[in-house]
Amino acid sequence: MIAEALAWLAAPMSGASEHAIAPATAWHGRLMVAAWAIAAPLAVLLARYYKVTPRQRWPQELDNPFWWHAHRLLNYAALAATALGLWLVWGAAGRDGALFRAHALAGWSVAALALLQLAGAHLRGSKGGPTAPRRAADGTPIDLAGDHYCMTPRRIRFERVHKAAGYVALAAAACTIAAGLVLADAPRWMGLVIGAWWIALGAGAIRLQRAGRCLDTYQAIWGPDPAHPGNARAPVGWGIRRAAPAPAPRR
């Protein structure tokens, strides 16, 4: 029975007796799965739920850079894998059919969204605040003004576009990968493993969301003190937790 189960898992999705695919196409698929089923979803999960790490004493300890470095490096890795994956199949003879056209359209849409995210990340504006004040030419601090600290219209537009485009890219990537597996007539175990991974990511996200781990970026960086101007605005996005300021000590 075990041998039969292993043979069933190793067989192509169509049930064909053989699975043959060009090496370039195979590596294209592996790179895209690594980029958009592993690196990019983890980048989003860490940015959403690990702005404050479990052992961090927040709000005594602020502006933990872990999530920022992890988010940035994972997304850069996804971009590099995407570029290499596209290069591998650039100019290759395409297949006909509605599924292939949908796969190609969705894939190029994901690549365009990835480039949009890269460009937008460099247009997010200045940080400001106590740790990054505006400075004069001689380095003397002027004030705390910054696009993020003051939550200027530029920063708000960036956050809306960046977050929405990120979630849309993940959804489109999931559809693209699913179509790619069918087009490649991949072994059944590949689809099952990728599906199980996505289910695990979704379950982890639900658990972290219910635990209140989706803390507002602004408060993760500067804390809940109402003296910070951004705390007067509602956070950008859905399901984001904002902590109430600590009560003033009695006199």
Shortest CA distance to 58 belongs to which of 206, 240, 222? 222
Q: If 0-12 CB within 10 Å is exposed, 13-18 middle and 19+ buried, where does residue 230 land?
A: buried
Hey, what are 80's tokens? 């590099």
Q: Taking 70 as the threshold, does the pLDDT of residue 102 lie above it?
A: yes
The pLDDT of residue 91 = 76
The mean pLDDT value of the chain amounts to 92
Banded pLDDT at 46 (limits 50, 70, 90): very high
Distance in angstroms (rounded) separating the CA atoms of residues 183 and 95: 9
The pLDDT of residue 94 = 63
Question: In angstroms, what CA-CA distances link 72 with 61, 69, 226?
Answer: 22, 5, 29
Contact 55, 4 (CB under 8 A): no
Shortest CA distance to 125 belongs to which of 145, 142, 109, 106? 145
Q: Give 149-199 pLDDT, tens digit per residue.
A: 999 999 999 999 999 999 999 999 999 999 999 999 999 999 999 999 999
Percentages of the chain per state (helix, strand, coil), in multiples of 5? 60, 5, 35
Q: Taking 60 as the threshold, does the pLDDT of residue 246 lie above it?
A: no
Q: Taking 60 as the threshold, does the pLDDT of residue 251 lie above it?
A: no
For the whole model, what pTM was predicted? 0.91
